[in-house]
Amino acid sequence: MTADRDAFAKTLAAPFDRDTAERARLKFIETQVLIDAIERAIASEQA
């Protein structure tokens, strides 16, 4: 998932193309939310 997130971040850092940037932004946010949820679940299991 982090590799996917990094790919979306690279797309966002590239020269601006509105359509591509909007899709990449949404996918980046969705992926980051999933990563955060997994990290919270792992942390609660360890506690």
| Structural domain harbouring 42 | 2-46
Please tell me the predicted confidence (pLDDT) of residue 14.
94
Share of the chain above pLDDT 70, in %: 100
- The per-residue pLDDT for 26 is 96
pLDDT at 47 over 90: no
CA pair distance 45, 40, nearest whole angstrom:
9
CA–CA distances in Å: residue 21 to residues 18, 36, 40 = 5, 22, 28
Give me the sign of the Cα torsion angle 36, 37, 41, 47.
positive
What separation in angstroms does the CA of 20 have from each of 29, 35, 36, 39, 45? 14, 22, 24, 28, 38
Asked if 4 and 31 touch (Cβ cutoff 8 Å), the reply is: yes
| Count of structural domains, the chain | 1
